[in-house]
Structure 1
């Protein structure tokens, strides 16, 4: 526990509990989570320095300087994460949003006595919640950052929990100590599931992990142990595996770097307005079909402008034309704008499914996303190349 007293934190804890109830974020099938949140409040796993974006840069929030502002960042809301670490000026660790933590652990279907591999310890909060449910000596957690691992160990010990934190890269190794686990819970995003994760989980066990920073998936390992599959369970943004190939950044600067002031090679008037590309349905369809496409919208003088790039040299934009009809501009080695529009058209032809109508199958040799059922339309999943 922190050297600081709880002070006014009790009020923040009550407000979070109330907001979780009002927003129906306490899972009905896992009532233990509400008890665990109360027994292990997230402030006890928060470092004394947090970070907040001020519109220009990340600025520190020091508990010793302004404990109320610090507490407000820890308890920002059901859907608010608290940034706990920067690396090179970019967030590299956080306390995940309470609603996401509750939903992912509910998706894990965790029971007392289960052996759990918590992948990506961070500050240790999810390992603590898992240990509260599974029991003493049933949770092992892997963390690649030595400082975070030491911090998590101290907080778990202060909470009186018997959970092991091991320094190591879980994306490239098996379960610390060997054997198999009943449940694997990952806290950072991967594009392709390491096969070692599937091998680490017993047949019938569960793997819950963030997929590509946009959502999270719950897989069940097949009885023969030679595959795992399951559905999308939630939508949220996640930090990626630190040692995986880099994913392209979003925002105007990344788009400008990809375009590099190049003139468009293609200019075409569209027969329909692609508005709404950032809505969850088409956005997920683009994410599945064109996984390296980074898409965002900014407001131009004539209306919204959709910008797309691949983190390399291909780019596109859709903007209002002089006559009001949308115009597609694109350039680079590939026509990524056409790829995005094709993905949206396919999504419409499938009946505009929502993200929860998609799933993933993983085998030793390949993995793919599918829509509707494992035998439905499918899209290959590959590890992205270095950006």
Structure 2
């Protein structure tokens, strides 16, 4: 097995080559390199074999284990699987760096983390904030215990709580910085309540991107811009549904028809991809290129799937093949139209505003731009 520190250095160089180390937060790189991934990785990891997640144990397959810990900058390391689906991970190195940069953390700032997982992110936060200033909350008692052990072994100074991250850390704080390591469709009001006016909240939203919100001077809302694209695991108890292969199974398509839009644009335009998640939130979209032709995979996690395949060299319209009670390619087309009439905003044109009883995504301007409510519960907060 290659030396783990050599693999760590390889990953660091890949981050540098792709300009992924944040220039505005120079503390991030030395912190991440001082506390490498393998110090927090459990002895059992998981990998997808094309059909299911299977375990990889350090004791029996150390080389594969090490490569799972140190993949490419955009590769996460699955550390827990429950009921066949991933429920915890060491996040992608590029996403960790990007979110820490988005947090704009300064020394001396009390910080709350939701989702301790392995404890690595809390350790990085503590390196910048200082000892005794970071509180992290983990829902799973087993993970909380492992995170506490990892944090103790790497310097301590972090308070690890077991509980529901959705309620924050009642009785602690208030906090100047709040960061979540799991995705929420609706930002819990408790997070805003426990953050001081002017404080900053960074959280993944909707399993596709992350936002940075600033709490208003009166504490009655929080608003801010989308910071980047990435896929995150949802909060515990959130139904993830099935993976593409599980929805697809061996079922042949029941409908085939032309798809008139340019799927090349969908593959390369992050703003379009994010907009589709906003307008059609329960359609999961993935794209890839093979021999210059784009293929799009769509599914709803339950009963319906579709593929859209571009013709080689763009000769003629793409072909959509669909199965299930929903026609997902058709729904995608409708959502795409909604993005177009909103002015085709880029990823960086989107933002989010949260109030006690509502949450919405907006484009261009929080007050005057087009907006889409993302509130699903009848009442977000009491």
TM-score normalised by L of structure 1:
0.85
Contact map agreement 1:166 1:176 (CA 8 A) in 2: no
* Deviation of 1:26 (Å): 1.4
Correspondence for 2:176 = 182
Asked whether 1:196 is paired with 2:190, we answer yes
Q: Distance in 1 between matches of 2:2 and 2:64?
A: 13
Correspondence for 1:277 = 266
Correspondence for 2:200 = 206
Q: 1:39 to 1:174 in 2, by over 3 A?
A: same
Correspondence for 1:373 = 365
Query: What does 1:231-380 correspond to in 2, within 5 Å?
Result: 231-244=225-238, 246-255=239-248, 272=261, 274=263, 276-279=265-268, 280-296=270-286, 306=296, 308-311=298-301, 325-326=317-318, 336-374=328-366, 375-380=368-373
Q: 1:203 to 1:64 in 2, by over 3 A?
A: same
Contact map agreement 1:26 1:102 (CA 8 A) in 2: yes
Q: Distance in 2 between matches of 1:315 and 1:70?
A: 33
Cα offsets for 1:196-243 (capped at 9, x unmatched): 111111111111111111111111111110110111111111111112
* Deviation of 1:356 (Å): 1.9
Q: Structure 2: any 5+ residue segments left out of the alignment?
A: none
Asked whether 1:105 is paired with 2:100, we answer yes
**Secondary structure class of the residue paired with 2:32:** helix
**Secondary structure class of the residue paired with 1:217:** strand
Contact map agreement 1:208 1:217 (CA 8 A) in 2: yes
Contact map agreement 2:28 2:97 (CA 8 A) in 1: yes
Q: Distance in 2 between matches of 1:317 and 1:16?
A: 34
Asked whether 1:96 is paired with 2:88, we answer no
**Secondary structure class of the residue paired with 1:80:** coil
Q: 1:232 to 1:304 in 2, by over 3 A?
A: closer
Q: 1:249 to 1:276 in 2, by over 3 A?
A: farther
**Secondary structure class of the residue paired with 1:373:** coil
Cα offsets for 1:177-200 (capped at 9, x unmatched): 334111111001111111111111
Contact map agreement 1:215 1:235 (CA 8 A) in 2: yes
Q: Distance in 2 between matches of 1:368 and 1:18?
A: 38
Contact map agreement 1:191 1:384 (CA 8 A) in 2: no
Cα offsets for 1:82-132 (capped at 9, x unmatched): 111111121111000111101101100111111111100000000000011
Cα offsets for 1:6-48 (capped at 9, x unmatched): 9922212222222222221111111111221122122111111
Correspondence for 1:87 = 82
Cα offsets for 1:43-62 (capped at 9, x unmatched): 11111111122223323222
Q: Distance in 2 between matches of 1:15 and 1:320?
A: 36
Correspondence for 1:147 = 142
Q: Distance in 1 between matches of 2:165 and 2:54?
A: 30
Contact map agreement 2:51 2:245 (CA 8 A) in 1: no
Q: Distance in 2 between matches of 1:254 and 1:230?
A: 35
**Secondary structure class of the residue paired with 1:356:** helix
**Secondary structure class of the residue paired with 2:165:** coil
Correspondence for 1:3 = none
* Deviation of 1:355 (Å): 1.5
Q: 1:153 to 1:337 in 2, by over 3 A?
A: same
**Superposition RMSD in Å:** 3.0
Correspondence for 1:10 = 5
Bigger mean CA offset, 376-385 vs 221-230: 376-385
Bigger mean CA offset, 376-385 vs 25-34: 376-385
TM-score normalised by L of structure 2:
0.86
Give the length in aligned residue pairs. Answer: 371
Correspondence for 1:48 = 43
Bigger mean CA offset, 23-32 vs 10-19: 10-19
Q: 1:7 to 1:328 in 2, by over 3 A?
A: closer
Q: Structure 1: any 5+ residue segments left out of the alignment?
A: 1-5
Which of the residues 53, 56, 60 maps onto 1:58?
Answer: 53
Correspondence for 1:77 = 72
* Deviation of 1:331 (Å): 8.2
